[in-house]
């Protein structure tokens, strides 16, 4: 059986329980042999508040003891200038070979704006997509941009088919119980509100020790 590697990208400013739930759902559903977590400097978002080193440290804490082997892949941080998912997938395909199943994990909110990503159609030529529904973000056909829907419709497949196929398929997972956004977490931390239910305890401890997100 060929290998299957799940890929989780994001700004992780900070990493939260929603990220962990997304990774866990697909790692078990596929099942994946390994997970690559890829912190980014996303060009579509405002400036990050934690440093690269702090975000990596929080990821290492959050994913310690995860049920599959985890690698924190820093290639997007190591590049100069803007970083794009399509370039990362090309680099991973070159590194891991043509036969491995790559499954790039995203939430429903990201799928709704997939057509704003650089060379987004090329993503399907490089990897499969694992999409997790989230409360408040519809995956109904009417909620998706027509171009995304056109690409998505013929590619939908069950998780076991993604595991056996290197690229080009899309699996939509059941609704995630956790509805968390990093923006909400930063706001809660800034106001001194409780964020215990939104963050892994080790990440919350790190944030408090380093006095992050107070401004």
Q: At residue 194, does pLDDT exceed 70?
A: no
Over residues 12-48, the pLDDT tens digits come to 999 998 899 899 999 999 999 999 999 998 765 567 8
Report the domain count for the chain. 1
Whether the Cβ atoms of residue 85 and residue 60 lie closer than 8 Å to each other: no
Is 93 a member of any domain?
Answer: yes
Task: Say if pTM beats, i.e. exceeds, 0.75.
Answer: yes
The pLDDT of residue 112 is: 86
Percentage of the chain lying above the pLDDT 90 cut: 65
Is 207 a member of any domain?
Answer: no
Identify any residues that bridge with 105 across adjacent strands, giving them in sequence order: 8, 130
Cis peptide before 95 (omega within 30 of 0): no
Q: What is the mean pLDDT of the chain?
A: 88
63: closest CA among 110, 101, 27, 89?
A: 27
Q: List the end-to-end C-alpha distance of the chain, in Å, as a whole number.
A: 50
Is 15 a member of any domain?
Answer: yes
Is 202 a member of any domain?
Answer: no
Domain that residue 67 falls in: 4-179
| CATH classification at residue 143 | 3.40.50.620
Listed in sequence order, the residues at least 6 apart from 25 whose beta carbon sits closer than 8 Å to its beta carbon are 132, 173, 174, 176
The pLDDT of residue 50 is: 92
12: closest CA among 176, 196, 207?
A: 207
Is 197 a member of any domain?
Answer: no
Over residues 35-93, the pLDDT tens digits come to 999 999 876 556 788 999 999 999 999 999 899 999 999 999 998 877 899 999 999 99
Is 173 a member of any domain?
Answer: yes
Chain-centre distance for alpha carbon 196: 21
**What Å distances lie between residue 31 and 65, 128, 159, 192, 195, CA to CA?**
17, 14, 8, 39, 30
Is 210 a member of any domain?
Answer: no
Query: Per-residue pLDDT averaged across 147-157, rounded?
Result: 93
Is 20 a member of any domain?
Answer: yes
Q: At residue 175, does pLDDT exceed 70?
A: no
């Amino acid at each position: 059986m060929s290998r299957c590697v799940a890929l989780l990208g994001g700004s992780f400013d900070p990493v939260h329980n929603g990220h962990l739930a997304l990774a866990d759902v697909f790692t078990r559903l596929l099942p994946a042999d390994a997970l690559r977590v890829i912190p980014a400097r996303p060009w579509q978002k405002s400036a990050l508040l934690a440093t690269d080193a702090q975000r990596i440290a929080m990821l290492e804490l959050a994913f310690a003891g995860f049920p599959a082997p985890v690698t924190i892949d820093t290639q997007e941080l190591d590049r100069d200038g803007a970083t794009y998912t399509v370039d990362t997938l090309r680099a991973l395909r070159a590194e891991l070979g043509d036969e491995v199943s790559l499954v790039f994990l995203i939430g429903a909110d990201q799928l709704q704006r997939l057509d704003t990503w650089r060379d987004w159609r090329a993503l399907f030529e490089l990897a499969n997509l694992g999409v997790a529904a989230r409360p408040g973000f519809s995956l109904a056909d009417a909620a998706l941009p027509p171009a995304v829907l056109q690409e998505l419709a013929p590619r939908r497949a069950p998780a076991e088919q993604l595991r056996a196929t290197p690229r080009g398929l899309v699996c939509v997972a059941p609704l995630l119980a956790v509805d968390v956004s990093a923006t909400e977490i930063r706001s809660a931390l800034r106001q001194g509100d409780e964020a215990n239910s939104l963050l892994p305890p080790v990440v919350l401890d790190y944030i408090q020790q380093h006095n992050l997100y107070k401004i």
